[in-house]
C-alpha cells in the first residue's frame, strides 16, 4: 500500500493541503449547471493553472478536479460513460503540477443519492466509487480523499471501494453543522463520534472534516474528533467563513489574514493536515503556509 501522507507526517508536524477548486472554477467562468469536472478534458490548461496556483502558494498536498466525477452525477450531463477517463485526466493534471515531491489526493465527493430514500442501492454506489478511484489511481494519484460526506452508509461504501480497488492511502472527511444542543452533527444526523466509529470500522487511514464551517467551528470539531481518536491523522479544510448572500451572490468573508491568525489554534486542536474549502483561494493557502513555517 502507498502511504505517502503517513510517511510525510513522520518528519513534519503539519502538512498543508490546497484551497477551493469550485471557487477557482467559477473565477475561470464556470456557470451553474455546467460540469466543471469535464474541464479536465476540454479546458485542461485552466485546470493545470489552478493546480499550479496551489503548489506555488505552498501546498504540500493538492487535490484533483474530480469532486463530482462519479458516474451517477455525470449522468446529469449525459457523461456517465466518461467517468473513468475524466478521473484519470484529473489525476494526470494534478500530478503534472505536483511533480514527484508533492502529494496528489484524488477528490471523491458524494453522489447526491441517498440509500435510505431508495434512490440508489449500495451496489450502485460501490460500483460508481470503484470506477472513480480506479481512474484516479491510473492517472497517478497518491491517495484518495473522499470529502463533504454526510451519510455514514455512503461514506463507508466509498472507503471500501477505494481500499478494495486501489493500493492507495484513503482519507474520508465529513461536513458537520452545529445542532440545537450545541454539539455538531451531519445533515443526516450523524455525530462526530458516530462518524469516527464508522471510519475505524472500515480502516480509513485519515479522518477529518471539510466545508460547511469557518475555522472557528472547525477548530471545535477537530478538538472533539481528536479527543475520540488520538492516533489517526486528522485533515481539516474550513470554508473562508460562513457563506453570506450579498447582492444575490454567495460570498465568504474570512480573509487570508483572518484564517492565518486562527491557524495555530486549529493545529493545537489536533489537525495534522490543514487547507481550505469553499471561498478559500491560493492567497489563503499562502497565508496559512507562512504560519506553518513558524511552527
Ligand atoms: Zn466547501
Separation of CA 100 and ligand 1 centre (Å):
27
Per-residue H/E/C for the chain: CCCHHHHHHHHCCCEECCCCCHHHHHHCCCCCCCCHHHHHHHCHHHHHHHHHHHHHHCCCEECCCCCCCCHHHHHHHCCHHHHHHHHHHHHHHHHHHHCCCCEEEEEECCCCCCHHHCCCCHHHHHHHHHHHHHHHHHCCCCEEEEEEECCHHHHHHHHHHHHHHCCCEEEEEECCEECCCCCEECCCCCEHHHHHHHHHHCCCCEEEEECCCCHHHHHHHHHHHHHHCCCCCEEEECCCCCEEEECCEEEECCCHHHHHHHHHHHHHCCCCEECCCCCCCHHHHHHHHHHHHCC
| pTM for the model | 0.97
- For 126, half-sphere exposure in the C-beta direction (CA atoms, 13 angstrom radius) is 11
Separation of CA 17 and ligand 1 centre (Å):
14
Check whether 295 has a pLDDT greater than 90.
Answer: no
Separation of CA 281 and ligand 1 centre (Å):
12
Separation of CA 213 and ligand 1 centre (Å):
9
Domains of the chain by start residue, with CATH = 4-293 (3.20.20.330)
Find the mean pLDDT for residues 141-161: 98
Separation of CA 211 and ligand 1 centre (Å):
4
C-alpha cell at 73: 452525477
Separation of CA 16 and ligand 1 centre (Å):
17
Check whether 110 has a pLDDT greater than 90.
Answer: yes
Q: What is the pLDDT of residues 202-231, one digit of tens each?
A: 999 999 999 999 999 999 999 999 999 999
Check whether 181 has a pLDDT greater than 90.
Answer: no
Separation of CA 79 and ligand 1 centre (Å):
23
Separation of CA 210 and ligand 1 centre (Å):
7
In the chain, pLDDT over 70 holds for what percent of residues? 100
**In which band, very low, low, confident or very high, does the pLDDT at 2 lie, cut at 50, 70 and 90?**
confident
Closest CA to 24 of 294, 280, 285: 280
Separation of CA 209 and ligand 1 centre (Å):
10
Check whether 248 has a pLDDT greater than 90.
Answer: no
Separation of CA 20 and ligand 1 centre (Å):
7
pLDDT (0 to 100) of residue 208: 98
pLDDT (0 to 100) of residue 293: 87
Amino acid at each position: 500500500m502507498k502511504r505517502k501522507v503517513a510517511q510525510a507526517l513522520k518528519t513534519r508536524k503539519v502538512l498543508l493541503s490546497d484551497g477551493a477548486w469550485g471557487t477557482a472554477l467559477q473565477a475561470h467562468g464556470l456557470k451553474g449547471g455546467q460540469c466543471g469536472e469535464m474541464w479536465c478534458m476540454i479546458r485542461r490548461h485552466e485546470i493545470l493553472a489552478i493546480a499550479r496556483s496551489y503548489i506555488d502558494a505552498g501546498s504540500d498536498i493538492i487535490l484533483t478536479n474530480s469532486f463530482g466525477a462519479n458516474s451517477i452525477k455525470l449522468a446529469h450531463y449525459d457523461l456517465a460513460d466518461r467517468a473513468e477517463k475524466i478521473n484519470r485526466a484529473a489525476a494526470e493534471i494534478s500530478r503534472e503540477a505536483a511533480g514527484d515531491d508533492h502529494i496528489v489526493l484524488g477528490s471523491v465527493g458524494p453522489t447526491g443519492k441517498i440509500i435510505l430514500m431508495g434512490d440508489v442501492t449500495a451496489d450502485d454506489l460501490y460500483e460508481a466509487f470503484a470506477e472513480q478511484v480506479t481512474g484516479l489511481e491510473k492517472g497517478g494519484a497518491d491517495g484518495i480523499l473522499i470529502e463533504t460526506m454526510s451519510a455514514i452508509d455512503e461514506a463507508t461504501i466509498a472507503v471500501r471501494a477505494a481500499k478494495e480497488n486501489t493500493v492507495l492511502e484513503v482519507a474520508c472527511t465529513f461536513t458537520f453543522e452545529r445542532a440545537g444542543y450545541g454539539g455538531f452533527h451531519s445533515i443526516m444526523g450523524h455525530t462526530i463520534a458516530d462518524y469516527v466509529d464508522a471510519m475505524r470500522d472500515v480502516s480509513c487511514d485519515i479522518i477529518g472534516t471539510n466545508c460547511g464551517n469557518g475555522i472557528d467551528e472547525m477548530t471545535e470539531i477537530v478538538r472533539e474528533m481528536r479527543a475520540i481518536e488520538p492516533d489517526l491523522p486528522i485533515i481539516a479544510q474550513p470554508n473562508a467563513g460562513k457563506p453570506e448572500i450579498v447582492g444575490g451572490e454567495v460570498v465568504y468573508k474570512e480573509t487570508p489574514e483572518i484564517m492565518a491568525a486562527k491557524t495555530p489554534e486549529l493545529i493545537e486542536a489536533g489537525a495534522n493536515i490543514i487547507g481550505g474549502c469553499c471561498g478559500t483561494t491560493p492567497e489563503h493557502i499562502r497565508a496559512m503556509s507562512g504560519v506553518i513555517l513558524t511552527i
